[in-house]
Structure 1
Amino acid sequence: MPLPSPHHRARLAALSAVFGDDELRDAFALDGGLVLQRVFGSPRDSDDVDLNHVEPYPHGAGPDARARLLRTIGRIRARLPLTGRAFGLLDATVEVERWSDRLATVYAWVVYRSEEDVRGRLELQATLCEPICRPVRARIDGVEVLAQSLEDVVAAKLKTLLQQADRGKVRHADVYDLWFGIEGASLVIRPEDVRPCLLDKMALWPELGPATAERFRQRSVVTFAEQGHRKLRAEQPDLEIPPFDAVWRRVLAFVDAMDLPAA
């Protein structure tokens, strides 16, 4: 079996640093596209390591949140030289790029040098303000992680569809990830199990308003979703994904089956 690329070995070293740590292994869950790809089998490439605190802080939590994130980054940085060597890295550390006190999030890089003298970096993000619903234990190339459940992935993507229209920001992967979670994954999820996950997430963002089936039919939400779908197809033309209209009909059918509160 060929050796994984230095970049993937750096990713595994970062995961091992987090989920091999006594304080972090149960406090944070891996989320995002990497979970869909490496745990649930999505063909969409995903590169960065996104961590989410299982028990959320309110966004805008201030000094307490930053202190928690500083401690988290410090513990990962302390373990990376050891876990990096286990995955064939000569050097590995974490460098903080920026903070968001409003989102209680740190954006950082894992900077590494491999035994082949390949140098690189990968994104690492740790967030405190997003609840994780039903986390699951999984393995990624032998590294045990605590990960988002598929129900939580779908709930997070539904919330983001409403959020990106509110923020005026197109996220290219969300519609595909949502479609894959509903239709493409080998694990079948039920709308009634996603419903409480979505409502819990929305409750922490009151400025987004309520989650209703009608909101997913608003023109702004549909427009941003379609733009993201188009952008992903341009970036990854080999990725098999149905036309937007077919994808969106499936999303709306799933949303309707969730029996969300009335407006």
Structure 2
Amino acid sequence: MEERENIIEISHLRKFFGQKMVLKDVNLQVKRGQIIGYIGPNGAGKSTTVKILLGLIEDYEGSIKIFGKDIKESIDYKGKIGYVPETADIYENLTAREYLTFIGGLYGIDYETADAKSIKLMGMFGIDDVYDARISSYSKGMKQKTLIISSLLNDPEILFLDEPLSGIDANSVIVFKEVLDELAKMGKTIFYSSHIMEVVEKLSDRIVLISEGEIVADGNLEDIRKQSLEGSLEEIFNELTGFDKHKEIAKEMVSVISGGF
């Protein structure tokens, strides 16, 4: 089988916020067509990594190449990526038609094409009936679907997702999982960051676990289990990040709730 090329290459990445080092010599190569589950505790460095890859944070040490070019020297790659942030400022006074055609225009997509793609994708998510309604009237799930659609308009080669399924109904989650699988089969690369272990476990063909700014596990779930680790991804996550007090904390919380404090 033909070896796929590296589409993202991170070498000796380090990032400081003041005196605190939040990324410690991170090295990671991602091949075309992979679905990467990038997971870790809060403060582990996940969002910082993604923001550096997106060019939103520029002050870092090390090198990052996307499509074979150093992102400090070329920003051309930005036209070939899509991004769904965990929380985003969306222009709520606009309608979805206005917002999505505006986003399409930023990518150089003409109005008619962006409009046609948007209304079809809205329909497939079951929300085409609000295409001309103000986004301010949308539910959280509808806003999230609109953000997902905006990230797909330019047919991106790399899709960065940060908790993309927040607030979305179960049927749409199933559809979106299938969409990601089909995109990967087409050679698209998915960089998926989430706290929901079950989703990451089912969706990803490669899992990268970062803890305290360092990668502590990298491979598919079976590879990680071979590293003398057993159990579900959640159990492995807890073992590798040193968080083993979840049952004790839960019992204490229930005790407080039931008046046993």
Tell me whether the two structures share a fold, i.e. TM-score over 0.5: no
- Which protein shows a greater Rg? 2
- Larger strand percent: 2
TM-score, reference length from structure 2: 0.30
The structure with higher relative contact order (CA 8 Å, sep 6+) is: 2
- Larger helix percent: 1
